[in-house]
Amino acid sequence: MPASLRSRLPKRLLVLPWRRVGALAGISFGLALLLTGFLFDLTDHFFVRLLTAFFVLFWLLAVTFLGVVPFVTWATGHWFGRGWQETGSRSSQPAPRRASANRPTPAVAPARRPIHR
């Protein structure tokens, strides 16, 4: 990110009307809950199933990103060698291409004219 954008972003975030944004987000969330309750009714335990699914998904994501990803990163470096791990020694610039002066260019066939009948 360029330095000028990095310095302008916090200034723009401070100017936003955060109270209004929070109020609109809260009202939208409340209306969404009311609509969901109206559509699915409270008798079929939709909200209980929704919260259970959310917490299962939350825990799966937490275990994945806090446990599995660091372990795989550690394992690739220690078990398979440094070649498997992303190294910081590689430059972010792509390798320069070799000059193609010694390769002949392929001949391009002329375009055919459409036949009108």
**Cβ–Cβ under 8 Å, residues 84 and 76:** yes
Mean pLDDT of 94-106: 62
Residues 29-84 pLDDT 10s: 999 888 888 888 777 788 888 888 989 999 998 888 888 888 888 888 888 876 66
* Among the listed residues 86, 90, 63, the one whose alpha carbon sits nearest the alpha carbon of residue 73: 86
DSSP symbols for 56-117: HHHHHHHHIIIIIHHHHHHHHHHTS-GGGS--TTS-SSPPPPPP-TTSPPPPPPPPPPPPP-
Per-residue pLDDT band at 25 (split at 50, 70, 90): very high
